[in-house]
Amino acid sequence: MANNQPYPQIPDGPVLCDTCSRTGSKVEMEPHKALPAEARKWAEEQDAELQSYRCPECESVQVFRVD
């Protein structure tokens, strides 16, 4: 099966940073305006809606499906 769903569904609650959770901290990620180029391309091709979130601590970015 092709990997055409590379982005997880957005969680119901607060979006916690995976990277920070590995070190035991619960850091809530913040909605971020810019999507990475590959995510924007994917959203256009799949006609899906994506939202990126950015961690204020480690600055990692995660992209979620919001539809």
Q: Does 39 bind Zn ion (CB under 5 A)?
A: no
Nearer to Zn ion, 43 or 63 (CB): 63
Q: Does 15 bind Zn ion (CB under 5 A)?
A: no
Using the Cα atoms of residue 10, residue 22, residue 55 and residue 28 in order, give the sign of their dihedral: positive
Structure tokens at 36: 């990475």
Nearer to Zn ion, 50 or 55 (CB): 55
Nearer to Zn ion, 7 or 53 (CB): 53
Q: Which of 60, 48, 53, 56 is nearest to 6 (CA)?
A: 48
Q: Does 19 bind Zn ion (CB under 5 A)?
A: yes
